[in-house]
Structure 1
Amino acid sequence: MKLEEMQAVWSEMGDQLEKQKKLTDKMISMMIQEKYRNKLNKIAYPEILGAIICITAAVMILLNFNMLDNWYTQVSGIISILVLLLFPILSLRSINRMSKVDIAGNNYKETLLEYAKGKKQFMKVMKLSYYLGFILMFVIMPVTSKLIKGKDIFAESISVWTYGIAIPLAISFFIIFSRWVYKSYQNNIDAAESLINELEEND
């Protein structure tokens, strides 16, 4: 075999190996993209369910708003509706931003930058949701009491059970549940981030 022919064969083999490497890298990126979305779905699905519950509750309050027959239950009703609608909008938008990270189409640095922006926004939303949830827990009480029982909790005599046990229990449950949700979401976010970091090895 002549030198020119050998060089042509080696060049062709080199091109084939380069194409194969690019194809392998693309397949790895697509697999990481799929795993990444699966991790985010563990956050998205509960949030979608929560969004449905929040929107349903907001609609129910709005449809029965005429039952709120004094200024403080009406104010509580308006605040409840706003918070219940704000929850899903902020949450689903931030999750959607993270899920749009194009792992297969971007390089490692671009992917990491895009992800970091989405993560920062999501963590802000989580923190805001915690405070809004705490506010909602109190403002929705007179609304639900009026809509379900037809009673004004501010006009009724409130028992020692309500002040001494029920409210502290509700606050404790809210704090424990919020921390559990935060920890669960954080674990999935960390797992998604570790998948992105795998790209550095292939970049």
Structure 2
Amino acid sequence: MELEELQSAWTQLSDDLNHQKKLTNKIILDMTKQKYQNKFTTITKYETLGAFVCFAIAFFILLNFSKLDTWYLQVCGILTLSFLIILPAMVLITLKKIKNIDIINGSYKENLKFYLKTKNRLLKLQQIGIAVGFIGLLFIVPVTSKIISNKNVFLTSLKTEQYVIFAITLIAMVFFCKWAYNGYLKVTHSAQELLQDLE
């Protein structure tokens, strides 16, 4: 009888340990998921705010599109609208995908593969955004100048102070873009390490 009681107690203890292990694993996964999602929360807030500003500017340009009275200003307007609508939307969609990876139910290998693919897409979108942002000055400035002050920059010569302001703007953009991109690299690397720790 003592042997049966000992076996029963051993079985009970083994079941309790297995249950405890599963519970601990679930808690670790839940905490990792929360930490992982928090990595992208701040970026998502900034990108959402930025997208809202871009969409508002795009709406303003659409309302005033008739002021773009030459074919080349209209082309600049279309390029500006495309930049202000498509790129922010793509970034927000990609951020949502990367933030909502199912760490708890997905397999480690599938999650890491999907993460790496989505991370590369997100970083590529940032690189495209930076490049188009600099090139975009060539078509955004004429559009805003025509809509706001009714001046066609293609037909007027710039003053020295306008060149200086343009140069300062370019320098500021370089520093801001470098800072923002480094922030993306840091967050994506940190999130990747979290995922890799689950192996």
Give TM-score scaled by structure 2 length.
0.94
CA contact (8 A) 1:40 1:99 kept: yes
Farther off after superposition, 41-50 or 153-162: 153-162
Give the unaligned 5+ runs of structure 1.
none
Distance in 1, Cα, partners of 2:22 & 2:109: 18
Root-mean-square deviation (Å):
1.4
Aligned to 1:13: 13
After TM superposition, list the pairs within 5 Å mapping 1:1-203 onto structure 2: 1-163=1-163, 165-200=164-199
Farther off after superposition, 39-48 or 125-134: 125-134
CA contact (8 A) 2:142 2:152 kept: yes
Give the unaligned 5+ runs of structure 2.
none
Equivalent residue letter for 1:191: S
Over 3 Å counting, the alpha-carbon distance change for 1:22 and 1:107 in structure 2 is farther
CA displacement 1:81-100 (0-9 Å, x = unmatched): 01111121210111111012
* Secondary structure, aligned partner of 2:176: helix
CA displacement 1:167-198 (0-9 Å, x = unmatched): 22222111111100001121111222222223
CA displacement 1:53-96 (0-9 Å, x = unmatched): 11111111111001111112111111100111112121011111
In the TM superposition, what is the alpha-carbon distance from 1:135 to its structure 2 partner?
Answer: 2.1
CA displacement 1:129-172 (0-9 Å, x = unmatched): 11221222221101111111111112222112223x12222221
Over 3 Å counting, the alpha-carbon distance change for 1:23 and 1:107 in structure 2 is farther
Farther off after superposition, 108-117 or 127-136: 108-117
Give TM-score scaled by structure 1 length.
0.92
How many percent identity over aligned positions? 38
Spell out structure 1 runs of 4+ moving beyond 3 A.
none
Distance in 2, Cα, partners of 1:75 & 1:117: 34
